[in-house]
Amino acid sequence: MGSQKKRISFALYFKRNVALYVMLLPGLVMLFLFHYLPIYGIVTAFQNYVPGKGITGSDWVALKHFIVFFHSPYLGRILGNTIMLGIYGILTFPAPIIFALMINEVKSVLAKRIFQSISYVPYFLSTVIIIGLMKDILNTDYGLLAQIYRLFGVTPVNLFALPEWFRPLYTLSAVWQFVGYGSIIYLAVISTINPELYEAAIIDGAGRFQQIFWITVPCIMPTIIIMFIFSMGGIFSGGDLQKILLMYSPLTYETADVIPTYIFRQGIEGGNFSYSNAVGLLLSTLSCILVLSTNKLVKMSGNDTLW
């Protein structure tokens, strides 16, 4: 599709294909209202936006909010928490891979399907339900964990209130939720592996583990690398805002408060629209740069053989 050869004028093309342009209208309106207008709305980060005065009526303060943020006593905490949460997230990277490998080694097709079906269930549960299930298990009176504590004669503790437990709880529940979903892509690639490779290996006397390490894993390595690079792009995202909001409390802010939750409290709850927008702008610029770079990295890693 090269440049537009003006064989017929645009006006004529338009007249002949008005339907096409009419079709685009709803989408373009949505795009404008909900994607591009908010981009314009970013200017409020440089103002003292007051809803009553509107964007055009509010005064301009340029970089004031950014400066305030950089002097904020909370900066270190939320930045550190955001990065730590991202690192914890990356640590869970092998889980879907291992799960996929385990499923793959099951010989019965029916059993494979059953295990897979069951593993997708947590993915479809809402965040509220997942937190609800967690609270049920961790409850100090009737929770399963409490029963185990009591078995060892220890008084049960409410883990939700302990800052040092926030990251493990958050990360473990994320694994629980996404390991089934995450394994799909690896299983799909594994299914393309030539069975003859395994047959040859068995003839050469390779055991199960050896087959996995020397055939299965190398074959999915391109996928692994790409997925890993993609997940790196999410380090600064600050995790799932919705989930953290349901999990944290002022008691656990020291580990649980990340940049998105700070933005939420300042902006939506506190009404400091301009300030929180400024912080948000910083975050999305960082994320944008990171995502663009990781995408470039993926392209560069030469992935013709990927899918």
Please say which residue, 78 or 103, places its beta carbon nearer to other proteins: 103
* Distance in Å, CB of 272 to other proteins, minimum: 9
Among 62, 68, 87, 144, binds other proteins (CB under 8 A): 144
Choose the stretch contacting other proteins; rule: CB under 8 A; options: 60-68, 69-77, 79-87, 129-137: 129-137
Residues 265-304 that bind other proteins (CB under 8 A): 267-268, 273, 276-277, 280-281, 283-284, 288, 291-292
Q: 């200017």: which residue's tokens?
A: 43
Within residues 69-98, the interface with other proteins by CB under 8 A covers: none
Does residue 181 belong to the site contacting other proteins (CB under 8 A)? yes
Q: Residue 194 CB, nearest distance to other proteins (Å)?
A: 19
Residue 200: both structure tokens together: 């040859």
Figure out which of the listed residues 60, 151, 208, 305 binds other proteins, where binding follows CB under 8 A. 208
CA distance 135 to 121: 18
When binding is defined by CB under 8 A, the residue of 168, 200, 214, 249 that contacts other proteins is 249
Q: Tell me how far CA of residue 136 lies from CA of 47, 62, 130, 244, in angstroms.
A: 45, 48, 10, 17
Residue 232 near residue 294, CB atoms below 8 Å: yes
- What the block records as the tokens of 241 is 């805002």
Neighbours of 44 (CB within 10 A): 20
When asked if residue 122 is in the footprint of other proteins (CB under 8 A), the reply is yes
Cα(33)–Cα(39) distance, integer angstroms: 10
Q: Which stretch binds other proteins (CB under 8 A): 46-54, 76-84, 231-239, 297-305?
A: 46-54
Question: Residue 117 burial by CB count (10 A; 0-12/13-18/19+): exposed, middle or buried?
Answer: exposed
CB of 67 or CB of 102, closer to other proteins: 102
Provide the greatest CA pair distance for the chain: 86
Q: Does 192 bind other proteins (CB under 8 A)?
A: no
Q: Does 106 bind other proteins (CB under 8 A)?
A: yes
Q: Is the dihedral of CA 256, 123, 136, 172 positive or negative?
A: negative
Selected binder of other proteins within 70, 213, 214, 307 (CB under 8 A) = 307
Q: Does 159 bind other proteins (CB under 8 A)?
A: no
Rounded least distance, CB 139 to other proteins, Å:
8
- The nearest distance, CB 141 to other proteins, in angstroms, is 4
Question: Is residue 102 at the binding interface for other proteins, with CB under 8 A as the rule?
Answer: yes
Please tell me whether residue 128 binds other proteins under the rule CB under 8 A: yes
The residue within the footprint of other proteins, chosen from 15, 55, 213, 218 (CB under 8 A), is 55
Six-digit token string for 113: 């399907």
As a three-state string, the secondary structure of 28-85 is HHHHHHHHHHHHHHHHHHHECCCCCCHHHHCCECCCHHHHHHHCCCCHHHHHHHHHHH
Q: Which of 88, 115, 165, 228 binds other proteins (CB under 8 A)?
A: 115
Looking at 256, 263, 294, 298, which residue binds other proteins (CB under 8 A)?
263
Contact between 2 and other proteins per CB under 8 A: no
CB of 31: closest distance to other proteins in angstroms?
Answer: 6
CA–CA distance, 173 with 189 (Å, rounded to integer): 26
Q: Which is nearer to other proteins, 48 or 284 (CB)?
A: 284
Q: Which ranges of 191-268 would DSSP assign to H, the alpha helix?
A: 195-203, 208-211, 217-232, 241-247, 253-256, 259-264
Task: Centre a 10 Å sphere on the Cβ of residue 245 and count the other Cβ atoms it contains.
Answer: 16
The pair of three-digit structure tokens given for residue 25, joined into one six-digit string = 């209208």
